[in-house]
Amino acid sequence: LVNIFINDEPVKVDKGTNVLEACRENGYEIPSLCYLKDLNTAGSCRVCVVEIEGSRNLQAACVYPVTEGLRVHTNTPRVRRARRRVVELLLSEHNRECTTCARNLNCELQTLANKVGARDGKLTGQHRHVPPVVKNPFIVRDYSKCIKCRRCEAICKNKQGIGVYSPLYRGYDTVIAPAFQRDLGDVACIACGQCVLACPTASLTERSYIDEVWKVIEDPSKHVVVQTAPAIQVSIGEEFNLPVGTVVSEKLAAGLRRMGFDSVFSTDFAADLTIMEEGHELLERLDKGGPLPLISSCSPGWIKLCEHFYPEYIDNISTCKSPMEMFGALAKTYYAEQQGIDPKDMVVVGVMPCTAKKFEAARPEMETYGIRDVDYVITTRELAKMLKQIDIDLKKLPDENFDQPLGLSSGAANLFATSGGVMEAAIRTALALTEGKEMGRLEFKELRGTEGVKEAEVELKGKTVRLAVAHGTRNARKLMERLKKGEKFDFIEIMACAGGCVGGGGQPITNDPEKPELTMEHRSNRAKGLFALDLGKKMRRSHENPAVIQVYKDYLGKPMSKKAKEILHTKYTA
Ligand code: HC0
């Protein structure tokens, strides 16, 4: 520990920490815009300036290390004036359409301007008025709102291990963008949206489909089916001031019904279906000797990573469509047939914690018998906005069930949204199927938790099967490099975002400069809600789901049947 003085108060802080962290730990809410703990310490925004005794200039607290006896002053008139001026300068070139902005009331710059009392009277610089770039189906870039904090660059490079952003040009003309300022859809971006989570303003936002979804809901000629991903039930509560990880499945069903969706289902049902298909695919590949390892296919960011960086492993990816796509395909075939609805009049909307799901829904591979599987994907944030638009406070809604049959799910399905969950669900079923009886073991703690790459072994059909789980593409790349060096695994789960889908780029964004939503702690708290859901269910294995059993009986025959392959499987080409 190191002894320092903050505003003349003696405190002990960890050696190696910076002044910003030291102050925050001791109750001083030093503002920041560019700083992200362990990810971005550029010291570029200068809003965290403090006075350090013995130093002539004000210092950026985020890059100033603590040393024995250091004396810091956080609230002198000079500090207050400087912070206010810095924010006013940022505002002087910022597109200040705050009232109509996607991040209105949830913008760190807006909050900070209010906090430091910025009024911007005299500083009317050259505002940027370039229209937002709306070229791809997942992320919109608005350069007129970029404050060049470079958090997007830091998270993409340092956390995801990709690095599509860098600063281009100089001075006022500087932009943080992909090389040659190409669109994110034209570079190796995997659409994960972690940059959207990190952006303090609305310079990066999801491509919103709110208006399109209201339009189809209002169209009486359309039967609009909504499916919500497993992660939504433990995260949307945050948008309504509920504690992180609060399970709101039943209120979610009630809210969606009140929005006017014709059928209110859950992607979790299709997660169970995925286990049936992927479990059988694994057993088939183990029997036939490959291609192994089988690698999970539900995370579209991971698929994109594989296509860009590891095309030689495309055949290892499971041919199963993701649960979201399986759901859409089944809704427009089986369910449409059951209900006597022309699939052309059915619209499937996915509510996902993920921006890459918007990309996935638009992929040419994702259609069945010439009809698109999923028509629109909206994020957790977009759904919360829509609910608020119609005056719904989610926490005050009554509990209602999802519609049947595509709304029923096992505890295993709920786990899909957490890292290791797909693997745990698959192993539960694979063990039970190969042993010919229900196996006692349900929980695989070695596949849970925050470790970047997790490994385990199970005995399947008298064979030792090596399993690996990676989350966050930086960790995924480490695992893929091990494969390239010749390490052997049989089954791998990869999720593009740290923590799995609970940490997706479409999840709630706080206005807290410490960005808790980027931390594993926050994401693990969301996952706790899913583990509790699983634990509370009688039905904890996917193959026990009676709705899934019925679909096979009525329609698909058996897993990996010709029909199942036509509807539920696909093939990627790099
Ligand atoms: Fe996921 Fe999924 S678990 S990818 O994270 O597999 O987005 O929540 O919906 O499709 O089920 C996201 C979450 C899904 C899919 C499921 C899988």
pLDDT at 430 over 90: no
pLDDT at 254 over 90: yes
pLDDT at 441 over 80: no
pLDDT at 56 over 70: yes
What pLDDT digit, counting tens, does each position of 290-337 carry? 899 999 999 999 999 999 999 999 999 999 999 999 999 999 999 999
So what's the pLDDT on residue 321? 98
pLDDT at 464 over 70: yes
What pLDDT digit, counting tens, does each position of 104-157 carry? 999 999 999 999 999 766 666 677 778 899 999 999 999 999 999 999 999 999
Cα separation, 294 vs 277, in Å, equals: 13
Catalytic residue among 51, 88, 108, 278: 278
Average pLDDT in the 381-401 region? 98
Q: pLDDT confidence of 443, banded at 50, 70, 90?
A: confident
Mutate to test the pocket of ligand 1, among 352, 492, 494, 533 (most ligand atoms within 8 A of CB): 352
Give percent above pLDDT 70 in the chain: 98
| pTM exceeding 0.90 | yes
Q: Quick check: bond before 291 cis, omega within 30?
A: yes
Active site residue 298: yes
Catalytic residue among 365, 457, 459, 521: 365
Domains 2-75 and 90-206 share a fold: no
What pLDDT digit, counting tens, does each position of 466-508 carry? 999 999 999 999 999 999 999 999 999 999 999 999 999 999 9
Gap from CA of 383 to ligand 1 centroid (Å): 16
125 by Cβ neighbours in 10 Å (0-12 / 13-18 / 19+) ranks as middle
Active site residue 365: yes
Average pLDDT in the 264-277 region? 97
pLDDT at 526 over 70: yes
Structure tokens belonging to residue 372: 């698109």
Cα dihedral 107, 110, 113, 114 sign:
negative
DSSP string, 517-538: GGSHHHHHHHHHHHHHHHHT-S
Average pLDDT of the chain is 95
CATH class of domain segment(s) 2-75: alpha beta
Tell me the CA distances in angstroms from 217 to 75, 262, 331, 369, 397, one per residue in order.
52, 8, 17, 24, 20
Average pLDDT in the 429-446 region? 75
pLDDT at 431 over 90: no
DSSP string, 451-502: -SEEEEEEEETTEEEEEEEEESHHHHHHHHHHHHTT---SEEEEESSTTSGG
Structure tokens belonging to residue 453: 């790459």
What pLDDT digit, counting tens, does each position of 76-114 carry? 999 999 999 999 999 988 998 999 999 999 999 999 999
Cα separation, 114 vs 46, in Å, equals: 17
So what's the pLDDT on residue 442? 73
Gap from CA of 351 to ligand 1 centroid (Å): 10
By DSSP bridging, strand 166-168 and strand 223-228 are unpaired
* Every domain of the chain and the residues it spans: 2-75, 90-206, 211-568
H or E element, residue 554 = none
CATH code of 211-568, in short, is: 3.40.50.1780
The interface predicted TM-score (ipTM) is 0.92
> 90-206 architecture in CATH?
2-Layer Sandwich (3.30)
Q: pLDDT confidence of 433, banded at 50, 70, 90?
A: confident
What pLDDT digit, counting tens, does each position of 182-235 carry? 999 999 999 999 999 999 999 999 999 999 999 999 999 999 999 999 999 999
Structure tokens belonging to residue 476: 């995924």
